[in-house]
Structure 1
Amino acid sequence: MSAHRAALVLAATPIGDSRDASPRLRDELAGADVIAAEDTRRLRRLTERLGVTVSGEVISYHEHNEASRTPELVARIAAGERVLLVTDAGMPSVSDPGYRLVGACVAADLPVTCVPGPSAVLMALAVSGLPVDRFCFEGFLPRKTGERERALAQLVAEPRTMVFFEAPHRLAATLTSMAAVLGEDRPAAVCRELTKTYEEVRRGGLAELADWAADGVRGEITVVVSGSDPAAGPRLEVADVLPEILERSAAGERLKDVCRDVAPRTGVSAKALYEAAITARHEVSGGR
C-alpha cells in the first residue's frame, strides 16, 4: 500500500438528489479501505443508487461513538489505510461528526483531504436573495426558548447574513424567537427540502415567516437571515432599557425574570441589566 494513499478523506454526499454525487465521490466510495458513516444504512442506500460496490470495511461513526472510534481510525490511517468519512448529507464536520477526527489527524500530522460537493449552507445562501458577500454559519440554536433568545441576542448587531439549521417541528418557535429578538420585519428565507422533489424557498419578514410556519412544516430546513442594518440606528444600551426594568419591577414582577425577558428583545445582557437595576435601587434608597 503506497504511503501517499493513506489519508482521512472528508466526502460531501448529496443532500437530496443522488445525481449531485461527483465521479470522485464514487471512486472514493469504491476504493477506500474504511468508510466511516454517520448512518451505515443510509450509506448502503446511497451506494445502491449510485451503483457503487464498496470493497472496504464500513463502520459507524456518529455523535455517540466518535470519541471511542477516533483513536482507532487515526491508528488505521497512520498504518497506511485510506479512511473515508461521510455523513447523512452534505459535508462532514459542518454540524455533523468529523471535527474531532480531523483535529486528531492534524495533531498526529496525518494527511487530511476533502471531496467537495453539495452544501445546504451554500445552496440556501445562493437562493435566499439575501446578501452573500459576507455570511456566518450559526448551526442549530438552543431548543429552550430562553436559551435560544439569549443566543439570538448576541446576534442582534451581527452585520453578516446568518445561516441556521432547524428541525421542522421547531421551526415556528425558532422563527417566533427570531422575530422577537431580531425584529419582525428582518428579511429572511426558509429553504426547505433543497434539491429534493418538494424543494421550496419562502422569503419574507421573520414575523410573516413565523405565521406561515405555525401550521407545521415538513422536511429538512435551512434558515437564512439578513444581517443588521446600520441605518436602523445604534444598539440599545443599559441606560436605554433600565427605566422599563425598574418600572416593571416596582409593579411587582421579579427582577431577574424581567431582565431575562427584556434582554433578548433589546440585545442588552440580562446580567448587566440586573446589576444596573440593583445599583439604581440602592441609589434611590440612599444606600440604606
Structure 2
Amino acid sequence: MPATFRCCLPSPTAAEEAPGALDPPASLDLSSSPGAHGAASAPGRTAADGHGALAPPLPAGLYVIPTPIGNLGDITLRAADTLRRVSLLLAEDTRHTRKLLNHLGVRHLQLLSCHDHNEKMRLGGVLQRLQAGEAVGLVSDAGMPGISDPGHEVVAAAIAAGVRVEVLPGPCAFVTALVGSGLPTDNFTFVGFLPPKSGARRKALERLASTPGTLVLYAPPHGLGSVLRDCAEVLGGGRRCCVAREVSKLHEEYFRSTLEGALREFTEVREPRGEICLLIEGAGDGDSFTAGGGGSAAADPGAVERVLRELLSGGMPVSSAVKEVVANLGANKKQAYAAALRLSASLGKGGQ
C-alpha cells in the first residue's frame, strides 16, 4: 500500500538548472568486506572524536540514521559519529551497509539485518537490548529509514515500549528531487510507490486528482512508462511534471516537461534507467491541464509561457517545445512559437 502524507508550509510574509559537475560517488568493492559481522560491542561503546580523545558513550536508545542516497560524501558528521558509537546496527542489507562502514573506517560493529520480510520478527530481540541500556542504530540502504524503506515497525515498537528514539536529519531522495523539480514546495503530498497494477493505480490517482500541491512519487524504471500513461490519462496530460533520475549520483538528471511529454520521452525516445522520483503539478497549481488528458481550449498565456520556459531551459528545441504546449495546453501555435523564440533568445543571453 503506498505511503501518503501531506506537507503544507506557510507562505512567506515578504516578497536551476546549471549546477556544477557532480563528483562521482565514492565506491568501494564489496568483495573487500569482511565475511563476519564482528563481535557485539558493550553498551555505550565510545569512539575517537577526531582529535584522538574518546567521545562520551551514547545514551541508551534507538538512533535512526539517514545514509547517502548515492554519493558516500553526503554522509553527515553526526551520522558518521553515531555509527561509530552504537553497539548494534540494524540494516536493510548488511552487505550494502558494510560498504558504507568500511568507507568510514568502522570495522568492529555488530550488524543485524532488518528488512521488509523480517522486521516484525526482529522486534523482540531488539527491544530487549534497548531496554537493557544499549544504543542501537537503524539504517536503510539509502536515505531516511521508514520513508518507502523498512524502519517504521522498529520505531513504533520502541516508542510504544517507552524507549528513547532519536532521529538524525539527513539525506532523503524525494526532498532533494522536490526542490530540484522547480514545482511548488510549500504544499506537497508524498505518495511513495503507486500500486503495481494499473487498475489499483488508477483508483489511487483518482483519489489524488483534486489534491492541491505537488504530488511526489517513486517509480521503478521498468514501470515508469505505465505509471506516466495512467497519470496522464487520470490527472491530465498537460500537468507539469519532473522525472528526477539518479539524484546525487554521477548521472543525475531532472527531466522537466508535462506528463504527456514525459510519457513520449520515456516510451518513444529512450528507456528510463536508475532510481526515479516523479513529481507532478498539483490541482490548483496552474490552469494548464484538464482531468482526463489534454489541455484546455483557451490556454492561460502565463501557464504556456511558464511551461515553455521550463522546457527550453531543459534543452528542448523550440519546435518541440511549441508542439508540447500546443498539444497539451491547447495553446495557439503562432503565439506559442513567438513566445518560444523570445524566451529562447532570452535564455541564450543568460536569462532565467
162, 178, 183: which one aligns with 1:130:
183
SS of match in other structure, 1:94: coil
SS of match in other structure, 1:90: coil
TM-score for the superposition, normalised by structure 2: 0.64
Aligned to 1:5: 59
2:182 matches 1:152: no
Q: Could you list the runs of 4 or more consecutive aligned residues of structure 1 that deviate by over 6 angstroms after TM superposition?
A: none
Aligned to 1:53: 106
Aligned to 2:89: 35
Aligned to 2:342: none
Farther-moved stretch of structure 1 (199-208 vs 52-61): 52-61
SS of match in other structure, 1:113: strand
CA contact (8 A) 2:58 2:86 kept: no
Aligned to 2:280: 225
Per-residue deviation at 1:231? Answer: 6.8
SS of match in other structure, 2:201: helix
Distance in 2 between residues matched to 1:48 and 1:197, nearest whole Å:
21
CA contact (8 A) 2:123 2:154 kept: yes
Per-residue deviation at 1:4? Answer: 6.7
Q: For 1:196-215, list aligned pairs within 5 A.
A: 196-214=249-267, 215=270
2:145 matches 1:85: no
Gaps spanning 5+ residues in structure 2: where?
1-42, 45-56, 292-352
Distance in 2 between residues matched to 1:159 and 1:167, nearest whole Å:
25
Q: Percent identity?
A: 40
TM-score for the superposition, normalised by structure 1: 0.78
CA contact (8 A) 1:149 1:177 kept: yes
SS of match in other structure, 2:136: strand
148, 162, 166: which one aligns with 1:95:
148
Distance in 1 between residues matched to 2:204 and 2:143, nearest whole Å:
25
Match for 2:103: what amino acid? R
CA contact (8 A) 2:88 2:109 kept: yes
Aligned length: 234
Aligned to 1:216: 271
SS of match in other structure, 2:145: coil
Distance in 1 between residues matched to 2:92 and 2:285, nearest whole Å:
42
Aligned to 2:339: none
SS of match in other structure, 1:154: helix
Match for 1:57: what amino acid? Q
Distance in 1 between residues matched to 2:262 and 2:145, nearest whole Å:
29
SS of match in other structure, 2:106: coil
User: Can you list the C-alpha shifts for 1:82-119, whole angstroms capped at 9, x where unaligned?
Assistant: 11000010000001111111111111111000121111
Q: CA RMSD in A?
A: 1.8
Gaps spanning 5+ residues in structure 1: where?
237-288
Q: For 1:199-278, list aligned pairs within 5 A.
A: 199-214=252-267, 215-229=270-284, 232=287
CA contact (8 A) 1:25 1:115 kept: yes
CA contact (8 A) 2:213 2:284 kept: no
Aligned to 1:67: 120
SS of match in other structure, 2:63: strand
CA contact (8 A) 1:33 1:55 kept: no
CA contact (8 A) 1:13 1:117 kept: yes
